[in-house]
């Protein structure tokens, strides 16, 4: 169990460019979540997968955002035509999805800076 990993850890891009982030959950975790965290705030939910199915999307997830989890393992989050307002920390979490508490374990995040 190596924990949730995210790559890259930092990304600097120019406005209008596309970026893609990757999340590798804890092995055998069937649930995967994406959150966005801006400076001084708590994380805000973006989207959630159970296995390969994307079951829920927040209103924060505009049409420029797309997430996939093609084989129910790793996940990617793509932002097209980035805007300065997209600058934030993007956090991934995973959980086993069993039991009442279904604890989410977080990765280190990808910090995006849009110039």
Asked whether position 108 contacts another protein by CB under 8 A, the answer is yes
- Say how far apart CA 12 and CA 19 lie, in whole Å: 9
| Closest CA relative to residue 7, chosen from 67, 61, 62, 75 | 75
| Closest CA relative to residue 96, chosen from 43, 42, 27 | 27
Lay out the sheet containing 5-7: strands in order across.
5-7, 19-24, 75-79, 65-68
Q: Please say whether the beta carbons of 110 and 61 come within 8 A.
A: no
Name the residue nearer to another protein (CB basis): 25 or 43.
43
Q: Which stretch binds another protein (CB under 8 A): 17-25, 66-74, 76-84, 105-113?
A: 105-113
Q: Which stretch binds another protein (CB under 8 A): 19-27, 41-49, 64-72, 75-83?
A: 41-49
Q: Could you say which of 75, 82, 94, 104 contacts another protein (CB under 8 A)?
A: 104
Q: Could you say which of 15, 16, 17, 44 contacts another protein (CB under 8 A)?
A: 44
Q: Which stretch binds another protein (CB under 8 A): 14-22, 50-58, 62-70, 75-83?
A: 50-58
Residues 6+ apart with CB under 8 A from 26: 1, 2, 3, 4, 94, 105
Q: How many residues bind another protein (CB under 8 A)?
A: 28
Rule CB under 8 A: which residues touch another protein?
3-4, 31, 33, 35, 40-45, 48, 55-56, 58, 91, 95, 97, 100-109
């Amino acid at each position: 169990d190596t924990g949730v990993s995210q790559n890259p850890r930092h990304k600097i891009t120019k406005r209008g460019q596309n970026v893609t982030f990757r999340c590798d959950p804890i092995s055998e975790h069937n649930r995967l979540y994406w959150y966005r965290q801006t400076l001084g705030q708590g994380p805000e939910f973006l989207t959630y997968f159970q296995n390969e199915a994307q079951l829920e999307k927040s209103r924060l997830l505009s049409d420029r955002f797309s997430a996939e989890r093609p084989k129910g393992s790793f996940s990617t989050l793509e932002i097209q035509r980035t805007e300065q307002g997209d600058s934030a920390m993007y956090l991934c979490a995973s959980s086993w999805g069993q039991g009442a508490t279904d604890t989410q374990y977080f990765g280190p995040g990808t910090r995006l800076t849009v110039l």
